[in-house]
């Protein structure tokens, strides 16, 4: 299947080259980097990496970057779109796990679940917001997921053609599930093994991990309700 990899990126000059090389090394050369108003060398690095680049003049948010990637897909019509984080958290080798249910025609959408992995050292600052997000998504839309905020997702053409997001910020991850329910898209999860480093965790809020995670979780629920 023709697969488009969408890589949203905001100030990721330290990791973007490594991410693109990893994707290409695993045979994924059809890549779109969505530069979301970066103020570092993200755009220049992407343009020198022989990939497609779309740039937001200002930072609009992760949801907006994903929406730009899906709009690009609707214009170019790949069989599958895969979203892939630019901070080095994901492994390109895990993409084949997401593609398998789509190839076998048992799913329209597949999400890589970090909580289903064998990694027992999951960072607390990431775990609590995920649990809040899962609870909010199930309560609002009636669809349960173990990892609603995962950035590693795969969408068949019949799915991404129907997805039009309204959210520009982090709550877009939950809005996906609203669309899955409304459009009756078949949903599956597969376990993935994330890579957490000091760099990939630097975007945590200031203060204690517990307080910051609770604050982020409550904000997410408030934004979804709003």
Q: How many helices (H) and strands (E) does the chain have?
A: 8, 7
Residue-level pLDDT, tens digit, the chain, 226 residues? 899 999 999 999 999 999 999 999 999 999 999 999 999 999 999 999 999 999 999 999 999 999 999 999 999 999 999 999 999 999 999 999 999 999 999 999 999 999 998 766 667 777 878 888 898 889 889 999 999 999 999 999 999 999 998 888 777 888 999 999 999 999 999 999 988 766 655 654 334 444 444 555 566 666 666 6
Distance CA 103, CA 101 (A): 6
The model's pTM: 0.87
DSSP state for residue 48 in the 8-state scheme:
T
**Domain residue spans of the chain:** 3-121+144-198
- Inter-axis angle of helices 209-225 and 124-141, to 10 degrees? 20
Q: At which residue do the structure tokens 């990496």 appear?
A: 49
CATH topology of domain 3-121+144-198: Spore Coat Polysaccharide Biosynthesis Protein SpsA; Chain A (3.90.550)
Distance CA 53, CA 42 (A): 10
Assigned token pair, 20: 């693109």
Distance CA 151, CA 153 (A): 6
Distance CA 168, CA 144 (A): 22
- pLDDT at position 24 is 98
- pLDDT at position 214 is 53
- pLDDT at position 75 is 96
């Amino acid at each position: 299947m023709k697969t488009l990899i969408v890589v949203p990126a905001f100030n990721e000059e330290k990791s973007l080259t490594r991410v693109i090389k990893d994707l290409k090394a695993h045979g994924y050369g059809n890549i779109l980097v969505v530069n979301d108003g970066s103020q570092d060398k993200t755009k220049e690095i992407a343009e020198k990496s022989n990939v497609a680049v779309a740039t937001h003049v200002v930072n609009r948010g992760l949801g907006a970057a994903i929406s730009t990637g899906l709009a690009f897909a609707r214009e170019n019509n790949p069989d599958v779109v895969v979203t892939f984080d630019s901070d080095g958290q994901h492994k390109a080798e895990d993409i084949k796990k997401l593609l398998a249910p789509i190839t076998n025609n048992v799913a329209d959408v597949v999400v890589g679940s970090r909580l289903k992995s064998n990694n027992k050292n999951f960072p607390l600052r990431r775990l609590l917001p995920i649990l809040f997000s899962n609870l909010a998504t199930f309560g609002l839309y009636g669809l349960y997921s173990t990892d609603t905020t995962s950035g590693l997702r795969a969408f068949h053409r019949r799915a991404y053609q129907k997805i039009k997001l309204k959210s520009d910020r982090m709550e877009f991850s939950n809005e996906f599930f609203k669309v899955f329910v409304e459009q009756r898209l078949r949903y599956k999860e597969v376990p993935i093994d994330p890579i957490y480093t000091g760099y990939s965790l630097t975007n945590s809020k200031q203060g204690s991990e517990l307080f910051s995670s609770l604050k982020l979780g409550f904000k997410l629920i408030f934004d979804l309700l709003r």
